[in-house]
Amino acid sequence: MERCPNCNARYRAGESCRRCGMELQQLLSIEMAVQQLTHQAFSQLSRREVSNAADTLSKRLTLRYDPFIAVVFDFCNSILQKPNPPQTEQQVGADRESLSNRRRESFPVASLPPTLSDRDSPSA
């Protein structure tokens, strides 16, 4: 913590603000817990313990929100929710065909706008 949340005075050492006298011990302990949880989560990720890291990041975000930590948390959850890859070549082929069919359905050729060469050519 760099400043008192009450009066915005610079924080120097101590359990209370030098200007307004606000008790800062509880806030300092929360800040220390945030740092410890962040370090613990990244250590877990380095050991590929994604589920544990996601739990730790969730606890960390409840103490103090940080956009970067939220992105890392979402990343962990996306890894945990990722379906297992297909096991056989037949499943891989079926998945490719299904994806190809979905692409055709999503982007039918007839719905594309005409190109410049189509507009410039004389119509029959």
Q: 20, 15, 18, 60: which is closest to 40 by C-alpha?
A: 60
Alpha carbon distance 37, 73 (integer Å): 13
Q: What is the pLDDT of residues 31-53, one digit of tens each?
A: 999 999 999 999 999 999 999 99
Q: Record the tokens describing residue 73, joined without a space.
A: 């948390």
Beta bridge partners of 16: 23
Mean per-residue pLDDT pooled into runs of 10, the chain (124 residues): 87 86 90 95 95 94 93 92 57 58 54 53 53
pLDDT the model gives residue 65 = 92
Q: What 3-state class would DSSP assign to 83?
A: coil
Q: How many residues does the chain have?
A: 124
- pTM for this entry: 0.59
